[in-house]
Amino acid sequence: MKQFTRDAVGLGIAFWLAGYLLSLVLFFTPLAPVMGWVLFVCLTPVMAAVTYWYFLHRGLPLSYFVQIAVAWTAIAILSDYLFIVLLFHPAAYYQADVLSYYAVTFLLPLAVGWYLRGYRPA
């Protein structure tokens, strides 16, 4: 259980916090109107690489990655709501960039787990 907490909560919060802090920086630049897409494009490959590297030699079942995906997505949605929607009251927060981010946050650990378990296309 301790390892799952570290994997789910620790890494989930770390990924969310990285995006959150970078969004605060981008907010004060000319990229502010498209910062969601900038973060999405820049951080998705980083998140994929870190996830792959972190779970590479662990030999975990695919069901573990499903649990990680649910936890990371829940952390992202809850943290966004608490620390962006309630705190800053953006006019329209839940747009295509944020919804794409939630989808990738859920699908990425599944894809990495699928790949690491050897389910590769022929």
Q: What's the chain's average pLDDT?
A: 94
| Tens-digit pLDDT profile for residues 88-112 | 888 889 999 999 999 999 999 999 9
pLDDT digits (tens, 9 = 90+) for 60-97: 999 999 999 999 999 999 999 999 999 988 888 999 99
How is residue 34 annotated by DSSP? Answer: G
CA 57/CA 73 separation, integer angstroms: 24
| 31-50 exposure pattern, b = at least 16 Cβ within 10 A, e = fewer | eeeebbebbbeebeeebeeb
